[in-house]
Amino acid sequence: MEIKQVFRTLSEASGVSGYEHDLASHIQDSCPWADEIKTDKLGNLIMLKKGHGTNPKPKVMLAGHMDEIGLIITKIEKDGFLRFGTIGGFDQRVLLAQEVVVHAQKPLTGIIGAKPPHIQAPGEQSKAVSMEDLFIDVGFDNQEQAEEYVRIGDIVTMKRDVLELQGSFMAGKSFDDRAGVAAIVECFKALSQMSHEADVYGVATVQEEVGLRGAITSTYGIVPDIGIAIDVGFGDSPGLPESDTLKLSQGPGIAIGPHVHPKVHARMVETAQEWNISFSLDPSPHPGGTDAYAIQVARAGVATILLSIPLRYMHTPIETLDYEDVKRTGRLMAMFIAGLDYEFVEGLTCF
Amino acid sequence: MLLARLTEANGAPGQEGEVRDLIRAEIEPHVHEIKTDALGNLIAIKNPDSPGPKVMLAAHMDEVALMIVGIEGNGFLKFRPIGGVDPRVLVAKSVLVGAKKISGVIGSKPIHLQKAPERERAFTMQELLIDIGAKNKEEAERLVKLGEIAYFTTKYEEFGHDKAKAKALDDRVGCALAIRLLQTEVSFPLIVAFTVQEEVGLRGAGVATYQIKPDVALVLEGTTASDVPGTDEHKHATTVGAGPCITVIDRASIPHPPLVRELFALAEEEEIKVQVRRNTAGGTDAGQIQLSEEGVKVATIAVPCRYIHSPVSVMSKDDYEGAFKLVKSYLKRLQEQEARK
Amino acid sequence: MKTVIRQLTEAFGPSGYETEVTELIKTMVAKHADEVKTDVLGNLIAIKNGSQDGQSIMFAAHTDEIGVVVTHIDDQGFLRFGSVGGVGISTLVGNRVRFAGGAVGAIYQEKGSWKELTLDKLYVDIGAENKEEALKKVKVGEFGIFHREFEDLGDRLIAKSMDDRVGCAVLIEALKKIQNPKNTLYFVFTAQEEVGLRGARTAAYGLEPDLGIALDVTLTGDMPEARRMAVSLGKGAAIKVKDSSLITHPKVKDLLVTLAEENKIPYQMEVLEAGGTDAGAIHLTKAGVPSGAISIPTRYVHSPSEMVDMRDVEACVNLVVALAEKDLASV
């Protein structure tokens, strides 16, 4: 199976934070290499690939979040237009004139509109349209028509098919962090051809975008020795300084910072060098913002690392990446896991 | 001199190794067991199997510092703070960079070449660079790796009436207190968590507490004092020289009210000068300790320090001794209560 | 029930110092619960055993209220203070505070513009002529609350600390009404919600419920030129879809809607764009607890004049009772 195809399907599917249930089944169906699959109380999808060794075996958790940012209906206006708030961080400037799906009693196509430029006051066009002034037009003529299908609290996603750009570049919505989930599936597939001692828990986490919530509870349940969070990182793009970004097509960023265990970092870098997998060093003085932050402080503490897939235009419906970077990330993790033994894991609490 | 050794050691959040090794050597003769965990917390245990309340002391080993995030074409180093640093305190300071401890300076444009209004504006972190004297990018890359840390170079020194100046008094002063307190003879289990990563979000303390499961915890800190010219008295927060502070509320915790009352009463009985921390901002490891599992009784005792999170901070040795005496009296009080049982 | 609300809202209980409130609640719930206990953080937990084993529900309403803490007393006897919880500056000038030791004072401001008003430009006058006199009445580090009495306007009530004593009142009333609890019910009157959902976190850790439900106030959008929000006073219990601390588990949301419809309880859907509740802490406990919230629509939240409608309060009571008596194993 081409996992790129799985990634495509995942990107186009809907799964706003807290509403990831449909995605879980897609992922499950695309990962025949797991020995056990379960969903926990918050909806995290946990896929276990058992190691070949004898107990005690190293326990590795891979976390990529499956949720995407989205919108939520906050009010139905008298004339049938819908007002909305956000779930996760959206730049209000990217919303104008987007096509959306309102997940009402049945899925409704909608358009995000605002007052047209022709009737705006001079000078108004130099200002961003504020979230408060935007609305969704679902084509209903009044509140009654809308209320037949729509309820306060209904979820809205961007309507966007994946685009194939030049080479292996792709663009679409929710690559943040379905790319991470795809990397986990790539890793499982690669591991199926290898011998590995460690039990591997591939977790498609929920609710990362609203506070790393799925990672908090899934890590508590799994109690791993090593946690690897796979998320997207800021790709090089015009206007961003080189030191704040990762180059596309050069493999994942391997983070270094307070949220990264020094020995896991060193081993990850060695693995990449040994197997000739390209990577960038990713210094991260601010540890927050990814599942690694939550995984690290579960229970008595977990040795963690963060791998970042370079991605341009984060939190927009045209997030852009090089799929080869997803593959490199999956392969790097597989090689790292294949090289693990219990002795290494025991050494992680020795400082 | 313990405080000198501790403050002159380097330990950014997540890279506390030098401080940890120093502390380990200091405490080894006085404890039954020492262990570390996956984050690098150093946990020292006295009387692990004795009956009585399990008492935890916590002090964090990490300090704010600068992480190298880029090397410019001309060999200058780009950095970002790790923990909260005001860029204005960085201008024209010296640093030591990375594992090789390369000397460097944080330079800025000479005053002669600035237009008058430029000097009104503070430098931003983005404008400041570390100069290690490298000829070019290649030479800089041979000496320094991305992700390495630059530290302030301040030496510990005693001065003035009863004052001491040093870098990282937040929280090496707490570490020093905890090391000295481990020499106290008690019959109950006494456990000290020298925690990591406090400065980037109280990261180590929760994990340590989960392993220790204490009945009561005291956090030993160095806290902000603003008793300086230009600050109204009601904004001083704490006063250097007025004794150790007891926290009643900060952003991370409301310490256990009965424990707080007990500490004030004890200070009065033992005639130890103490002050209330008069500011609700900031947070200490107490925030994570208190919320561990089903909850832990916690209080924070802090030594007031001026200019924390900068290359040089100032404290009073009398406050430091007062804090030591207060915690020691508390442990003694517990010891007496245990003996009576 | 109005009497209960009056007693609760007139009690003293800033975050961390909720004892007066928990003691009062203890007297109200003691004879209706199978067990009542407190914990380290100061939570009060009333347990009602269910008719069958297995499922348990934790209901949480917080006992603490926002307030102030004395940070300085000057030579003239004026106090400076910091905030306890999210205190709105615009509600303070001319307002009154009452301290733990009983001292009452008026808040006023230094000279300067309203726009630039910050907490450290405000002071409290407790009528002391100098520092010595002030020190007889209050101490630095003492906690205080906003001092305001309860008003009964008919269907609608005004009081300080409706947030969240009205939630406590809902739980107390529900506890009295529940006839056939199918589930083990934990009624947790939580401490320190206003400073970060702290009591609920440690309580939930100990109780490990199967379902968590917070009872708390929510904002409304039905006042002149109000911030847009589709919740109104008098239109029923608000079933939370999300706030900044929680996205209600979709199954829990649907269950609450179904229960409201089956029992003809008026309800409205709530999307709160800022703010959180105890459910935010409960749902992240251990390996996760599906959670939701039933909210009491309240105007002027975090001011000393918080307004609720008794019809909404009663709807919330009925929804809690319906959930408590529902066989969760079947859901």
Last residue of a domain, one of B124, B152, B180: B152
Residue C191: per-residue pLDDT: 98
Find where tokens 């609760």 sit: C8
The CATH class for the domain spanning A3-68+173-349 reads alpha beta
CB contact under 8 A, B211 and A259: no
Min Cα distance A100 → chain C (Å) is 19
Do the chains contact at B200 and A300, CB–CB below 8 Å? no
For chain B, 341 residues long, give each residue's pLDDT as a single digit of tens.
Answer: 999 999 999 999 999 999 999 999 999 999 999 999 999 999 999 999 999 999 999 999 999 999 999 999 999 999 999 999 999 999 999 999 999 999 999 988 788 888 888 888 888 888 899 999 999 999 999 999 999 999 999 999 999 999 999 999 999 999 999 999 999 889 999 999 999 999 999 999 999 999 999 999 999 999 999 999 989 999 999 999 999 999 999 999 999 999 999 999 999 999 999 999 999 999 999 999 999 999 999 999 999 999 999 999 999 999 999 999 999 999 999 999 988 88
Q: Are residues C100 and C213 in the same domain?
A: no
Mutate to test the interface with B, among C39, C66, C69, C286 (most CBs of B within 10 A): C69
Do B131 and B148 fall into the same domain? yes
Q: Over 90: is that where the pLDDT of C54 sits? A: no
For residue C110, being part of any structural domain is answered with: yes
Residue B158, in any domain of the structure: no
- Domain of residue C52 covers 2-65+160-330
Nearest CA-CA distance, residue B273 and chain A, Å: 37
**DSSP per-residue codes, C248-268:** --HHHHHHHHHHHHHTT--EE
Cβ neighbours of B201 in A, within 8 Å? 287-288
Q: Contacts of residue A260 in chain B, CB cutoff 8 Å?
A: 14
Judge whether B202 and B284 are in contact, CB under 8 Å.
yes
Looking at the structure, tell me whether residues B243 and B322 fall in a common domain.
yes
Residues C267 and C165 in one domain: yes
Query: pLDDT for B55-87, tens place per residue?
Result: 999 999 999 999 999 999 999 999 999 999 999
B 222-261 → C contacts, CB under 8 A: 232-236, 246, 248-249, 254, 256-257
Q: Does residue C152 lie within any of the structural domains?
A: no
Residues C324, C236 within the same domain = yes
State the Cα–Cα distance between residues A189 and A49, nearest whole angstrom: 10
Closest Cα of chain A to C230: distance in Å? 6
Mean pLDDT by groups of 10 residues along chain A of 351 residues = 92 97 92 95 97 92 98 96 95 92 96 81 80 94 96 97 96 97 98 96 97 97 98 93 93 97 98 98 93 97 98 96 98 98 96 95
Q: State residue A113's pLDDT score.
A: 92
Do B26 and B103 sit in the same domain of this protein? no
Q: Where in chain A is the domain with CATH 3.40.630.10?
A: 3-68+173-349
ipTM of the complex: 0.93
Q: Are residues B258 and B333 in the same domain?
A: yes
- Residues of C tagged active-site: 193
Q: Mean pLDDT of all residues in chain B? A: 95
Residue type, A59: K
Q: How far is A6 from chain C (nearest CA, A)?
A: 26
C142 shares its domain with C228: no
**Is residue B85 located within the same domain as residue B232?**
no
Q: Is residue B162 part of a domain?
A: no
| CA-wise closest residue to A159 among A82, A239, A83, A100 | A100
- Shared-domain flag, residues C139 and C168: no
CA distance B193 to chain A (A): 13
Per residue in B265-312, pLDDT (tens digit) is: 999 999 999 999 999 999 999 999 999 999 999 999 999 999 999 999
My answer on whether B59 and B79 are in the same domain is: no
Q: Is the same domain home to B224 and B282?
A: yes
What is the pLDDT averaged over residues C181-200?
Answer: 96
Whole-Å CA distances, B249 to A234, C10, C71, C193: 38, 23, 10, 14
- What are the beta bridge partners of residue A205? A65
Query: B249, B279, B300: best mutation site toward chain C, by most C Cβ within 10 Å?
Result: B249
Q: Determine contact: C288 vs chain A, CB below 8 A.
A: yes
pLDDT attached to residue C113? 87
Q: Could you give the number of structural domains in chain B?
A: 2
d(CA C92, CA C82): 12
Give a yes or no: residue C100 inside a domain: yes
Please tell me which residue in B16, B198, B199, B221 is annotated as part of the active site: B198
Specify the pLDDT at position C28: 97
Q: Which CATH superfamily is domain A70-158 in?
A: Peptidase M42, domain 2 (2.40.30.40)
Instruction: Count up the domains in chain C and report the number.
Output: 2
Same domain? For B46 and B187 the reply is yes
Instruction: Please report the pLDDT score of residue C239 as a whole number.
Output: 98
Write out chain A residues lying below 8 Å of B200, CB-based.
Answer: 258, 286-287
**DSSP string computed for B78-136:** EEEEES---GGGTTT-EEEETTTTEEEEEE---GGGS-GGGGGSPPPGGG-EEE---SS
User: Both C25 and C51 in a single domain?
Assistant: yes
Both C167 and C38 in one domain: the answer is yes
Q: Give B-chain residues touching A281 at CB under 8 angstroms.
A: 145-147
Within-domain flag for C227: yes
CB contact under 8 A, A283 and B20: no
Instruction: Give C254's pLDDT tier (boundaries 50, 70, 90).
Output: very high
* Alpha carbons B11 and C37: distance in angstroms, whole number: 44
Chains that touch C (3 or more CB pairs under 8 A): A, B
Residues C18 and C91 in one domain: no
CA A212/CA A219 separation, integer angstroms:
11
Give CATH 2.40.30.40 domain extents, chain A: 70-158
- pLDDT at res. B260: 98
Q: What is the mean pLDDT of chain C?
A: 96
Q: Best interface-test mutation with C: which of A20, A22, A42, A81 has the largest number of C CBs within 10 A?
A: A42
| Residue ranges making up the domain that contains B328 | 2-63+167-340
**Encoded tokens for B257:** 């009210």
CATH number at residue B109: 2.40.30.40
Query: Which residues of chain A make contact with C197, given a CB cutoff of 8 A?
Result: none
Query: Based on the domain organization, do C59 and C187 belong to the same domain?
Result: yes
Task: Answer yes or no: do C83 and C221 share one domain.
Answer: no
CB contacts, 8 Å: C286 with chain A: 217, 220-221
Q: Quick check: B217 and B334 in contact, CB under 8 A?
A: no
CATH of the domain at B58: 3.40.630.10
Q: What is the pTM of this model?
A: 0.94
Instruction: Answer yes or no: do C183 and C239 share one domain.
Output: yes
pLDDT at A1: 65
The single-letter code of the amino acid at C33 is: A
Classify residue B182: in a domain, yes or no.
Answer: yes
The reported pLDDT for the residue numbered C329 is 78
